[in-house]
A and B are shown apart, each in its own frame.
Chain A
Amino acid sequence: MSATIDDPRVIEFDVRTDEMLVNMGPQHPSTHGVLRLVLRTDGEIVSEVTPHIGYLHRCAEKIGENLTPRQWIPYTDRMDYLAAMNMNLGWALAVEKLLKYEPPERGRHLRVIIAELGRIASHLVGMGAYGLDLGSFSPFLYAFREREKILDLFEEACGARLTYSYLTVGGATADLPAGWLDRCEQFLDQLLPIIQEYHTLLTSNAIFIKRTAGIGTMSREMAIDYGTSGPVLRGSGVDHDLRRDGEEIYTAMYDGYAFEVVVEKDGHYPQDHDYPPVPQEAELGDCWHRFYVRMLEVMQSIDLVRQGIDCYRTTSGSHGEPMKLTQKLPAGEVYLETEAPRGQMGFYLVSDGDSIPWRVRARSSSFCNLSVTGPLCAGCLIADVPAIVGSLDIVMGEIDR
């Protein structure tokens, strides 16, 4: 059979590509857990990305309807398992909002110390894993080395390394052990110079900039429209951080603390440390900016932990008595969002006056952040898909709940 030039099978005159569906995941090193992406590709160009989620779905909300709030704390650990402390805190505060309970001063500072350490640990993983997504292996090891030390501190405080159930309704399950604050300070002193190492490895690395700057740019309007939050939202230049703009019960925790929201304003970030400058190729809202916001937040959190340690040392009294396991809840409903490392984690609780809530709902930040993948990846290269998904820094345990 002779082929003619009109025959679509003839390709030697011009490389013709066919549309192809590529399955990425659910088991793929750069999908951060069990996320399946279906890419519609034409050659190297991706025209459509459809995320499929739910592989880790446990219906945690249904479980919450059968347990008392304190019994449900361990389930919040397993949502964002890289920032379990912040999940505990979010749920504890939501229940406290319903109970109209105010934790004692010492407990408040303890929570700030722990929550901000959790943020550092989470951002370190986010940073290391992002390097891994882009094919750079070493930052991952550097990040995990430092994170391990935070886990050691957490282990000393509550006995667990990953699923803590430490911050709980009413306060915390235990006070910080003797000498813990000194060890924490030592760690911070040691971490500070290492941040520069991370910047050399990634932030100002020429290849890293090439892979992330100008890729996956999300406008301010789009970030708000899709309900993104945390570093993803601030990376697009939206000046919003619940630690400053949240509800009173949450912002009261940070009363007296000095910090500036990490966001680009008038073309520069509001920090006075010597950071690598924003490269020329980068535009606001791209993968590089999302990454950069996270890196600056590590510095911000180090500062907040230091302030917390000072406040904790100067206050005396109780760190907060955990609420009774089967205490009756007042009837009513509350919704509270807190600033978890990955964004705004919200908990909604409906109570009919029993000790077990009528309805529990977890609004996941990563869930909303992931929903932008489709529009962000349309028209990009296949190799940019991991760069974009990685820059959102998602955790599947929280998305699937």
Chain B
Amino acid sequence: MSGQTLVDQLKQKFGDLITGANLDNIDPWIEIAPGGILEVCTHLRDEPSLAFDYLNSVTAVDYLHADEKKAAKASWEPHLELVYHLFSMQHKHSLVLKVMLPRWQDEQPGRLPEVASVSSVWSTADWHEREVYDLMGVQFTGHPNLTRILCPEDWVGHPLRKDYEMPLEYHGIRGR
């Protein structure tokens, strides 16, 4: 199935929940509205002609220039991107999904952006979403156990954010 056919099919079924697509990139992606990710993923897994039963990875990218000069030149507004890499064992095809999120919920620094967890669709997402929460600071609603996974429980901040600053000290260990 070509990328365009899939986008059209999904648009027909989900309407506004499909907010865009980039079919020119080396790995083409489809953009989903934050509210629709669970619905779309369930469909992608259960529809026999697609059968995306395998989740490779969930990750996030932070778009922010810490440097103001560079920020003025940037072609995008600061935001977070969630990236889902899917695969189908049966058809041996793959797909990339993206969800655009604000860096902070309601523009209030410190409030993590929220999106529905897909751990009920693929169990892989359980640990991967914990990692995204830990390192990038995204709140996955409906996740069974959203705790830090790689950093210690009492770690402050989300290290993969572009404006993250290393703590000066952690339990007596010098940080910088």
Binding site for B on A (CB under 8 A): 53-54, 57, 59, 61-62, 97-98, 100, 222, 224-227, 238, 240, 245, 247, 332-335, 337, 344, 346, 348, 350, 358-359, 361, 363, 367-368, 371, 400-401
Contacts of A226 in B (CB 8 A): 123-124
State how many angstroms separate the Cβ of A78 from the closest Cβ of chain B. 15
Task: State whether A61 and B26 are in contact (beta carbons under 8 Å apart), knowing that A54-B149, A227-B56, A371-B123 are contacts in the complex.
Answer: no
Contacts of A62 in B (CB 8 A): 159-160
Q: Which residue of A lies closest to B131 (CB)?
A: A367
1/0 per position for B123-152, CB-CB distance to A under 8 A? Answer: 110110000000100000000000011111
State how many angstroms separate the Cβ of A184 from the closest Cβ of chain B. 33
Q: Does B89 contact A (CB under 8 A)?
A: yes
List residues of B (52-91) whose CB comes within 8 Å of A's CBs: 53-57, 59, 61-62, 83, 85, 89
Q: Does B33 contact A (CB under 8 A)?
A: no
Separation of A371 and B127 alpha carbons in the complex (Å): 7
Contacts of A240 in B (CB 8 A): 89
Contacts of A98 in B (CB 8 A): 26
Contacts of B159 in A (CB 8 A): 59, 62
Q: Does B169 contact A (CB under 8 A)?
A: no
State how many angstroms separate the Cβ of B146 from the closest Cβ of chain A. 15
Q: Which residue of A lies closest to B124 (CB)?
A: A227
Q: Is the CB of A346 within 8 A of B126?
A: no
Separation of A368 and B122 alpha carbons in the complex (Å): 12
Q: Does B25 contact A (CB under 8 A)?
A: yes
Separation of A222 and B53 alpha carbons in the complex (Å): 11
Q: Is the CB of A97 within 8 A of B26?
A: yes
Beyond A98-B26, A361-B57: 14 further Cβ-contacts under 8 Å? A54-B148, A54-B152, A61-B160, A62-B159, A225-B124, A245-B92, A247-B94, A332-B26, A333-B27, A334-B26, A348-B59, A359-B62, A371-B123, A371-B126
Contacts of A225 in B (CB 8 A): 53, 122-124
In the A-B complex, the 9 residue pairs with the closest CB atoms: A227-B124, A363-B57, A54-B150, A57-B150, A359-B61, A371-B127, A225-B123, A361-B59, A226-B123
20 A-B pairs in the complex with CB atoms less than 8 angstroms apart: A57-B151, A59-B135, A98-B26, A224-B54, A224-B89, A225-B53, A225-B122, A225-B124, A226-B123, A226-B124, A227-B54, A227-B122, A227-B124, A335-B27, A335-B56, A335-B96, A363-B57, A368-B124, A371-B124, A371-B126
Interface residues on B, range: 20 to 34
Contacts of B27 in A (CB 8 A): 333-335
State how many angstroms separate the Cβ of B39 from the closest Cβ of chain A. 19
Task: State whether A346 and B56 are in contact (beta carbons under 8 Å apart), knowing that A54-B151, A225-B124, A245-B92 are contacts in the complex.
Answer: yes
Q: Which residue of B lies closest to A97 (CB)?
A: B26
Q: Is the CB of A53 within 8 A of B123?
A: no
State how many angstroms separate the Cβ of B176 from the closest Cβ of chain A. 14
Contacts of B89 in A (CB 8 A): 224, 238, 240
Binding site for A on B (CB under 8 A): 25-27, 53-57, 59, 61-62, 83, 85, 89, 92, 94, 96, 122-124, 126-127, 135, 148-152, 159-160
Task: State whether A333 and B26 are in contact (beta carbons under 8 Å apart), knowing that A57-B151, A227-B55, A363-B56 are contacts in the complex.
Answer: yes
Separation of A334 and B83 alpha carbons in the complex (Å): 11
Q: Is the CB of B122 within 8 A of A61?
A: no
Q: Which residue of A lies closest to B29 (CB)?
A: A333
State how many angstroms separate the Cβ of B167 from the closest Cβ of chain A. 13
Q: Which residue of B lies closest to A337 (CB)?
A: B56
Separation of A401 and B151 alpha carbons in the complex (Å): 11
Q: Is the CB of B127 within 8 A of A350?
A: no
State how many angstroms separate the Cβ of A205 from the closest Cβ of chain B. 33
Separation of A225 and B94 alpha carbons in the complex (Å): 16
Q: Which residue of A lies closest to B83 (CB)?
A: A348
Separation of A337 and B135 alpha carbons in the complex (Å): 22
Which of B61, B126, B135, B149 has the most chain A CB within a 10 Å cutoff? B149
Separation of A225 and B56 alpha carbons in the complex (Å): 10
Contacts of B122 in A (CB 8 A): 225, 227
State how many angstroms separate the Cβ of A52 from the closest Cβ of chain B. 9
State how many angstroms separate the Cβ of B22 from the closest Cβ of chain A. 9
Separation of A358 and B89 alpha carbons in the complex (Å): 31
Q: Is the CB of B135 within 8 A of A61?
A: yes
Contacts of B26 in A (CB 8 A): 97-98, 100, 332-334
Separation of A62 and B157 alpha carbons in the complex (Å): 14
Q: Is the CB of B135 within 8 A of A348?
A: no
Contacts of A371 in B (CB 8 A): 123-124, 126-127
Q: Which residue of B lies closest to A228 (CB)?
A: B124
Separation of A359 and B126 alpha carbons in the complex (Å): 22
Which of B54, B94, B126 has the most chain A CB within a 10 Å cutoff? B54
State how many angstroms separate the Cβ of A137 from the closest Cβ of chain B. 33
Contacts of A401 in B (CB 8 A): 150
